[in-house]
């Protein structure tokens, strides 16, 4: 049990990668807060974890609302007495932002994908410091490292912001024994932008491992960085992309 006794909040945990991350952390011993704006789906994920003998509760969270963050972190510490792990997983894809040159889409991407990470981290670290440290894992994207002509520029910018904020936060909070790392998933069509399906074979051909990723492969990376196995790792960026951006 690699995170036994630890308390974790996972955002965007009502489906896809977030649900897989929350479930794996629970299987490995963590008490998990399934946080999402989708109430029905989030309750189902928490119930599934409990049915598998894990410990989990759903809490509604709009990651762009600082007052929501204040409430959920207070509720988490009131229920479990501490906070050890924050997984900033919530986000939207290029296809959810509309016009590539529109301000509305740009602002939506930056608020949900990037500002939310700042809001959650700055509150979570205060609780982590009270109990000797913790781990923040931010889900960025391989597109936060490289550019492309097929994705919204705001998506690239928002995920790049997560990447570099992670490093700044790692430097700032390291003296309090709080580690901050980022994960950069590659193409995973079941959870990410559906437009990728039109170019499925081209993307697979370009990926050295010749396949798309799976949610559990991102969850395994989250578990590693959240656990004490990664106790001397901070400010790192871990690509889970099958080698896609290496060429």
Q: Among 80, 155, 173, 244, which one carries the catalytic annotation?
A: 155
Helix, coil or strand: residue 93: coil
In the block, which residue shows the tokens 């309750």? 43
- For residues 108 and 31, is the Cβ–Cβ distance under 8 A? no
CB neighbour list of residue 62: distance below 8 Å, 6 or more residues apart: 37, 68
Residues 221, 235: Cα–Cα separation, whole Å = 15
- For residues 126 and 178, is the Cβ–Cβ distance under 8 A? no
- 155 catalytically annotated: yes
Q: Alpha helices, DSSP H only, in the chain? A: 16-27, 39-51, 66-80, 103-109, 116-130, 153-173, 200-206, 215-226
Helix, coil or strand: residue 207: coil
In the block, which residue shows the tokens 């959240």? 226
Helix, coil or strand: residue 243: coil
- For residues 91 and 152, is the Cβ–Cβ distance under 8 A? no
Strands 237-240 and 134-139, how do they pair?
unpaired
Q: CB-side exposure of 74: number of CA atoms within 13 Å?
A: 6
Give, as one character, the DSSP assignment of residue 110: I
Q: Which residues form the catalytic set?
A: 155
């Amino acid at each position: 049990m690699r995170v036994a006794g630890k308390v974790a909040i996972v955002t965007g945990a009502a489906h896809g990668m977030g649900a897989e991350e929350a479930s794996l952390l629970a299987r490995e011993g963590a008490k998990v807060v399934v946080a999402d704006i989708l109430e029905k789906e989030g309750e189902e994920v928490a119930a599934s974890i409990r049915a598998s003998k894990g410990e989990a509760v759903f809490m509604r969270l709009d990651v762009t609302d600082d007052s929501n963050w204040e409430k959920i972190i207070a509720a988490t510490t009131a229920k479990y007495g501490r906070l050890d792990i924050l997984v900033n997983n919530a986000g939207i894809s290029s296809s959810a932002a509309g016009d590539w040159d529109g301000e509305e889409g740009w602002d939506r991407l930056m608020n949900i994908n990037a500002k939310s990470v700042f809001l959650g981290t700055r509150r979570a670290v205060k609780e982590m410091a009270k109990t000797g440290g913790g781990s923040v894992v931010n889900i960025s994207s391989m597109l936060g490292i490289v550019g492309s002509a097929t994705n919204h520029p705001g998506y690239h910018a928002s995920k790049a912001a997560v990447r570099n904020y992670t490093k700044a936060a790692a430097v700032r909070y390291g003296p309090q024994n709080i580690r901050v790392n980022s994960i950069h998933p590659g193409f995973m069509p079941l959870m990410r932008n559906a437009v990728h399906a039109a170019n499925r074979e081209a993307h697979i051909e370009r990926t050295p491992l010749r396949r798309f990723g799976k949610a559990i492969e991102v969850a395994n990376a989250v578990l590693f960085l959240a656990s004490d196995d990664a106790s001397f790792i901070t400010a790192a960026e871990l690509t889970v992309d099958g080698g896609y951006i290496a060429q």
